[in-house]
Structures are given as C-alpha cells and as structure tokens.
Amino acid sequence: MKTLGEFIVEKQLDFPDASGSLSALLGAIRLAAKVVNREINKAGLVDIIGSAGGENVQGEDQQKLDVYANEKFKAAMEARGEVCGVASEEEEEFIAFQGTKSKNGKYIMLMDPLDGSSNIDVNVSVGTIFSIYKRISPIGSEVTLEDFLQPGYKQIAAGYVIYGSSTMLVYTTGNGVHGFTLDPSIGVFCLSHQDLKMPTQGKIYSINEGNYIKFPLGVKRYLKYCQEQVPEENRPYTSRYIGSLVSDFHRNLLKGGIYMYPTTASAPEGKLRLLYECNPIAFLAEQAGGKASDGERRIMDIEPTELHQRSPYFVGSTEMVEKVEQFLSECDRFEAP
C-alpha cells in the first residue's frame, strides 16, 4: 500500500517550481499530526484533558490539548524551515519565524490546531485544520500581515487531520482530495481514499438546532424543507451534528450532506473563522465536487480584512448548498416566520 510520503513525492511532479519545499512542509504536518494523535490517545491516562485555565483570542476556554497541539504544529513548521510564519486560531497575532532558513521559506500556514477540542473529555472525534499559501512578502524578509490576509482561492494546499476511531489525514493541493489512514502498528499514513468525490446530493444536514430561534428565516425554512416527508425526493433528511467541523464535514464528504453555521441574532457575523476553518474546508469541498458559501457568495472569493474574521458558513453537497442559498435569497434575514 502506498504511504503518504511516497504519494507526496509522486505528486511533487504536479509542482515543478516547488523544488521539494511543499513536499517537505506536508511531511512536517504529517509528523506533528502523529505526535498530537499520540497524546490524544493517552488523554484519559495523563493530565492533558480539561481546561488549560485561559482563553484564546475569541474569548473561548482553551483546553490543555489546544495549547499542546498549537505548540507542536508551530514547532514542526519552524523546524522544517519551509514556512516563514504561522497564524493560529489560538494566537492573537501571527507568528513570524526568525531563523534565516525560515525567513527564506516560501510559504505561510494558517491553522486551527485542535478543532472541537471540548469533545476530548467525552471521547468524541476532533481534528486539526490547516491552510497553506505562498507568501507575498519578499523571500528573506520577515513575514507580514498581508501574507496571511489572502482570499481562499489563492490557497495552494489545505487539509485536515481527524482523530477518531482511526486517524486520517485528508488534503488537497488543487489536484483532487486524497485521504490517508494511520496504521498504528507501524506509525505510517497509508493511502486509503484516493480522489475523493462528494455526492452532489446527500441525505444528512448538520447544524446546532439548539440555536433555531436565533436563525435567519431562510435557514428556518430550509430546515423545515429538510424535515418534510417527500418519499420521491428521499426526504426527510437525517440530522447529524457532532459539534466538530472536521468530523461533521468528513462524514458529509464521504456520504453527502450539508454543514451549516449561519448568522444568528447574537452572532451577526457568524461564528466560524474564515481563515482557519472556512477557507481550507471550502478548498477541499470544491476539489471534491462540493460547494462552500456564506449564504450569498463563494467563501473563497471573500477578501479577508483581519486574522480572526468570522463568517456564516454553508458547505457540502452542491445541490444542498444551492438549495439553502435559494431559501436565504427569498427571505429577509431575521423576519419573523
């Protein structure tokens, strides 16, 4: 069976100007993922579960594993020298690596080091999301904010690691989506899902329905549409919500479905982060034949203005995303039903 390392080298031919640096960067992500996976699998045995006692820049409680994963991925990126800087959901500002080798790095990385970390305590799947761009600033100089504020369509690679019943690394470099499952007996990621394609129509919708009263009218009407009994259209659909974007998206990628985190009356800009969550998952979705939208426009066309910018988010099977966009366009956002 082909390993992730072998696959990366083979696909290096897709990027003749990369001279191995992107392959080395993906190799660093692979290493950090294995280190984080090891600690997650020991989470009930060592003192690494629960709150770290602080908050991240979004005011959310940081879990001990959030901090651990953040540090391990940063260290892996800096050690390899292909990345000149990193921006993380857990850090208020971007991190500019100071070494001479790092300043010569061609790439920057944005990441959510441990998506869904509040699920760790109850043994539910979590993940790491990453997004890679070519830097804009001159090679050899220090990385700048402009390097990180690039629209999603400029990504050159993106992916996630899901730490679940098995550990998988799923990524794209703009030539399809490929998944690798970690064989724990030998510590190697092996190709298990080549050229993944998302069904254009699914039967699963994923949303926190506990916020129903706060949703825009278009989303409320779409949920009623999903719940209607229409046998010839294979409705009603099934509700499945894990509370971890990586886990919900991974299921919908394989089976077909839609993940939604709309605006609410209390969060008019949405909750998910454009740069750390929305853009990388959107890149994967589009490469697999799906779609990602903020309800009105393509997610990857949005020009970011700040590191921790938020956005409403609808991602998944193309027909399902287009249907919720239709409902939203027909309704005023917070009109009483």
Binding residues, by number, are: 89, 112, 114-118, 208, 241, 271, 277
The answer to whether the beta carbons of residues 105 and 96 sit under 8 Å apart is no
Question: Which residue type occupies 64?
Answer: K
CA 171 to CA 176: how far, in whole Å? 8
Which residues touch 167 (CB under 8 Å, ≥6 apart)? 33, 37, 161, 181, 182, 184
Q: Exposure of 190 by Cβ count < 10 A (0-12 exposed, 13-18 middle, 19+ buried)?
A: middle
Tell me the pairing of strands 83-88 and 61-63.
unpaired
Please state the residue numbers annotated as binding site for Mg(2+): 89, 112, 114-115, 277
User: Known binding site for substrate: residues?
Assistant: 115-118, 208, 241, 271
